[in-house]
Amino acid sequence: MDKGIEVNRRVWDEWAQIHVRSDMYQHEAFLKGRNSLHALELEEMGDVSGKRLLHLMCHFGHDSLSWARLGADVTAVDFSPEAIAIARQSSEQIGVPARFICSNVYNIPQHLNESFDIVYTSYGVLTWLPGLAEWARIAASYVKSGGFFYIAEFHPTAMIFDDEASEPSLRYPYFNEGAIILPVSGTYADRQAETKEKETYEWSYPLGEVITNLVKSGLRIEYVHEFPFTTYKAYDWLEKHDDGYYYPRPGIPSLPLMFSLKAVKPG
């Protein structure tokens, strides 16, 4: 587990520098005022002004600072020093305050002892977790009574397909079978990018395991929503629609590609 976290941290240090220059992240547009959040989480999260928000696994802070621009008091955490450095620099450049902490998710209690109205995480986070139960326990511990935890994430079903195939084709397990060691070839934001690191450690978790661990951590599930689209072209067989999301092209049945979940801590 520790080896996997360390290998992945080095990967994400490299990716942070690649992503900040990529077309996908539109960093210069973000600095000029672009909000990086999607309509899905904006609608489901609602008004965050004046709320204390903890963003887990924040990468280099675009979403964190977008919530801050909307009035939230933001604390954000990521395990990549390179990503945190970019996030802090961006915060200074745009004049939007937020607190950024460099830590892997399991070590956050060593750095933070507070409670928040909202604990938030999104898009491509679960696959990097070597243990789901401890993640859920830590996330829930930071939600104050009456507050909520929210995640928008790629559906576990969407993670089983071959990312090199032009048609939906099964490749990866749906259930957790331990670490999946994958070769690194570029990044999801720039597939042609050169990287020194050559592998990642990733894990798969079924949706039931996500829900169960959050419930065991003391949260009450308010809803779980499933969606037939994703936020970027993860597979060649997806195409962009007018709403900005990516759906299977005609002839391919609808599939659960994303989900969102809101869980409250009873007051």
Q: What is the pLDDT of residues 182-201, one digit of tens each?
A: 999 899 999 899 999 999 99
* pLDDT, averaged across the chain: 97
pLDDT at 8 over 80: yes
Confidence band of 74 (pLDDT split at 50, 70, 90): very high
Q: Is the separation of the CB atoms in 121 and 56 below 8 Å?
A: yes
Q: What is the mean pLDDT of residues 178-184?
A: 95
The helix (H) or strand (E) run that includes residue 178 is none
Picking from 242, 247, 266, 265, the residue whose alpha carbon sits closest to that of residue 257 is 247
Q: Is the separation of the CB atoms in 246 and 229 below 8 Å?
A: yes
Burial 105-130 (b: 16+ CB within 10 A, else e): bbebeeebeeebbbbbbbbbbbbbbb
pLDDT tens profile 83-117: 999 999 999 999 999 999 999 999 999 999 999 99
Burial 72-85 (b: 16+ CB within 10 A, else e): bbbbbbbbbebbbb
pLDDT at 1 over 70: no
End-to-end CA distance of the chain: 35
Q: What is the pLDDT of residue 267?
A: 83
Q: What is the pLDDT of residue 3?
A: 92
Q: What is the pLDDT of residue 185?
A: 85
pTM: 0.97
Instruction: State what percent of residues in the chain have pLDDT above 90.
Output: 97
Confidence band of 6 (pLDDT split at 50, 70, 90): very high
Q: Across-strand partners of 223? A: 262
pLDDT tens profile 197-244: 999 999 999 999 999 999 999 999 999 999 999 999 999 999 999 999
- The domains found in the chain, sorted by start residue, are 2-264 (3.40.50.150)
Contacts of 52 (CB under 8 A, 6+ apart): 72, 73, 75, 114, 115, 116, 117, 118
